[in-house]
Amino acid sequence: MDVQMMYEKYYAAAPFVRLLPQPPRIKDVAFTNFCDIHIAHDAHADTLVILSAIDNLVKGAGGQAIQNMNIMLGFPETTGLL
């Protein structure tokens, strides 16, 4: 199983993680609870490059607190965050 497939399987049920075919952009996650991820292989250096972008104000402590509260109280994980 390649790395891309492993990420897709792991994050399949994660409503705030988006796996992208191109590098993520800050403007696409600004003011959201999303984490955008791009995986690439640099064949020249034989290195795996994983890029991610989040809005630290929303996906940071505030958004995480709401997401955790939703889970603890049995609400849909996305309540108040979409």
Asked if residue 14 belongs to a domain, the reply is yes
What is the C-alpha to C-alpha distance for residues 23 and 36, in angstroms, rounded to an integer? 9
Whole-number Å distance between alpha carbons of 59 and 16: 9
What are the pLDDT digits (tens) for 4-38?
999 999 999 999 999 999 999 999 999 899 999 99
Let me know if residue 7 belongs to a domain.
yes
Q: Could you tell me if residue 70 is inside a domain?
A: no
Note whether residue 42 is domain-resident. Answer: yes
Domain membership of residue 80 (yes or no) is no
Per-position DSSP letters for the chain, written without gaps between them: --HHHHHHHHTTT-TTEEEESS---HHHHTTSS-EEEEEEEETTTTEEEEEEE--TTIIIIIHHHHHHHHHHHT--TTTTT-
Give the pTM.
0.83
Q: Which domain holds residue 19?
A: 3-55
Say if 82 falls within a structural domain. Answer: no
Number of domains in the chain: 1
